[in-house]
Structure 1
């Protein structure tokens, strides 16, 4: 089968498109013929170094995907050949204390597609049947693929971790990135007041068109100062961020007393100044978040099925042009998800 895979670590020179073995379908697994996948920041991380993540080379890239069931086992009753499905990217043990407590996203031995094992930038994928969900009818392949990481991550950040309420105000950094846009969409569905930031004026205007209440140009304006002006000196209840060191100080200074900051990434560095006095004096809550549980993904899919939620797709590239897709992601120019079409 054709796939995009890394043969080492560095730049796009270590990313190849070529033939890889067809994945065998193990007991309880389903073979899926993939149609689309989307790019995530971890794809760049795995290409660049993959430091700290156990993996073997060569490795097929990609965490999320959408496709069609190709083959099921004799005991499978929920899925059928020809059915459109999307992928939940975490393979869990089902036996550790976290899985047994209903929190498989915290599984002590979770392996992730595209990180610990071959991923979705390929024509075929074999995963446990429990990792596949029927695609909501209104969605195209690229839109459906985006849900398994992008919108699932945002859902857990906004709803499970932050517990955002309709009467609250949320500050979302880096609008234009997939998780930030998904967080905006989810916050608007809740009815919360939304403030977004970006260094790109066009992205800010597009976010306002999508329903953001206020937009701050983070290169020209002091974010915390603008937040205080917009909230009459109070600050926001919740901050959603995946940028890391570059925005951490502004994020903490933007929070109301007792406010919550939820982080899922550190693209500008993972060692920001802690400002512990502000954290404990103002009793701020710092919450980490990664991916989400299958049950949370089901809640996302229910919103999509009802026509209330639809991912924003920036661009779609054929699998053969994965280098161009990775370069666009690395540039930060995208507004929404960058997708691969897998024929």
Structure 2
């Protein structure tokens, strides 16, 4: 079957490590696993890091990439794949598809049957393929961790990438006042179109916010602290621009701030997200849809840093 995979590691030029070609059919490590025919998938920065060698060992190569997918199960049902699978031997006890088990950038993928969630009516395969990693992370950041229902305002740092852009769209859909930062004027214009107030990084906000969505790291963390209202929640799921920020602890305890880490979400939270998007007719922000025959172009687009939203792969073309 055709697949996109890490053929080797290249920290400086990860695209050079991408292989596209025939790979063996999926195998089932357990009787509860099934094979899903993939219809659509989406890329994450996790895929780029895998090509750099982060999270993978040489003896795991070649490894099929991809975490997110929508497809058809053996009974002919349209399903969304929850990408976190039990993994004996991993210190966490679980892993994401493409870390220990082959991922979703292939014609077919093996997953535990319990990881298959029904595709809701009203959600296309292309839209739903955006949700299981980036959008699920944003949903958990806002709801479970950020408790956004207790507040009215949200700051999203570094909007443009998958998680941050999802947080903007979801925050607006949840009826919150959303502020979002971006260095790129074009992305700030797109943020405004989503219903948020777009700002340059470090800009003074009209108000202090109840929830901060932080995926950037050291470059924005001081601004996140200064923008937080008393008893606000600063939720962190990434550190693309530095993982060792300087933290003013006096502000943390004087303002009674919560700094919360999170990653991904649960199957129940993904079910909630799918239902919310279907009920409110929310369409994920998609940068581009690329046929699988041009999957290399999709990786080039993601790696460029110019994306706004998700890069989706159409496996039917």
Q: Please report the RMSD computed on the Cα atoms of aligned residues, expressed in angstroms.
A: 2.1
Structure 1 pair 283/52, CA: closer, same or farther in 2 (3 Å)? Answer: farther
**Partner of residue 47 from structure 2, selected from 40, 43, 46:** 43
Matching of residue 137 in structure 1 with residue 141 in structure 2: no
Q: Which has the larger displacement, 194-203 or 320-329?
A: 320-329
Give the distance between the partners of 1:9 and 1:278, measured in 2 at CA. 42
What is the aligned counterpart of 2:146 among 162, 165, 169?
162
1:331 and 2:304 matched: yes
Q: Give the structure 1 partner of residue 25 of structure 2.
A: 22
Instruction: Give ranges in structure 1 of 5+ residues lacking alignment.
Output: 72-79, 95-106
Question: In the alignment, which residue of structure 2 is the partner of 1:251?
Answer: 224
Does residue 15 of structure 2 align to residue 12 of structure 1? Answer: yes
Matches for 1:293-312 after TM superposition, within 5 Å:
293-312=266-285
CA deviations on 1:291-336 (whole Å, 9 max, x unpaired) are 0010011101111232432211110122232332122212221111
Task: Classify 1:32/1:285 alpha carbon distance in 2 versus 1 (closer, same or farther; 3 Å).
Answer: same
Query: How far 1:173 sits from its partner (Å)?
Result: 1.1
**Matches of 1:320 and 1:53 in 2, distance apart?**
28
The aligned counterpart of 1:277 is 250
1:200-211 to structure 2, matched below 5 A, reads 200-211=184-195
User: Structure 1 residue aligned with 2:71, among 36, 59, 67?
Assistant: 67
What CA deviation, in whole Å up to 9, does each residue of 1:74-104 have, x standing for no partner? xxxxxx2x2111110001379xxxxxxxxxx
Partner of 1:215: 198
TM-score by length of 2: 0.92
Task: Mark the CA change 1:37 to 1:45 in structure 2 (over 3 Å): closer, same or farther.
Answer: same
Once the two structures are superposed, residues 232-291 of structure 1 have per-residue CA deviations (whole angstroms, 9 ceiling, x without a partner) of xxx211110111111111111111222210011111121111222322232211000100
CA distance in 1, matches of 2:126, 2:168: 19
What CA distance in whole angstroms lies between the structure 1 residues aligned with 2:39 and 2:22? 17
Relative to the length of structure 1, the TM-score reads: 0.85
Question: Cα–Cα, structure 1 residues 308 and 39, in superposed 2: closer, same or farther, change >3 Å?
Answer: same
Secondary structure of the residue aligned to 2:104 is coil
Cα distance in 2 for partners of 1:321, 1:242 equals: 29
Number of residue-to-residue matches in the alignment: 311
Q: 1: distance between equivalents of 2:38 and 2:238?
A: 27
**CA distance, structure 1, for counterparts of residue 59 and residue 132 of structure 2:** 21
8 Å CA contact 1:197–1:215 kept in 2: the answer is yes
Give the CA deviation at 1:12. 1.2
1:33 matched residue in structure 2: 37
The residue that corresponds to 2:96 in the other structure is 112
Secondary structure of the structure 1 residue equivalent to 2:149: coil
DSSP 3-state at the match of 1:325? helix
CA distance in 1, matches of 2:242, 2:222: 13
Given the superposition, is the C-alpha separation of residues 117 and 285 from structure 1 closer, same or farther in structure 2, using an over 3 Å criterion?
same
C-alpha distance after superposition, 1:87-128 (max 9, x if no partner): 10001379xxxxxxxxxxxx9300210222210010001111
In the TM superposition, what whole-angstrom CA distance separates every residue of 1:24-75 from its partner, at most 9, and x where no partner exists? Answer: 2441122111011111111111111215779711100001111112x3xxxx
Consecutive unaligned residues in structure 2, runs of 5 or more: none
After TM superposition, the structure 1 = structure 2 runs for residues 50-61 of structure 1, keeping only pairs within 5 Å, are: 50-51=54-55, 56-61=60-65
Q: How has the CA–CA distance of structure 1 residues 51 and 125 changed in structure 2, closer, same or farther, with 3 Å as cutoff?
A: closer
**C-alpha displacement of 1:139:** 2.2
Counterpart in 2 of 1:91? 85
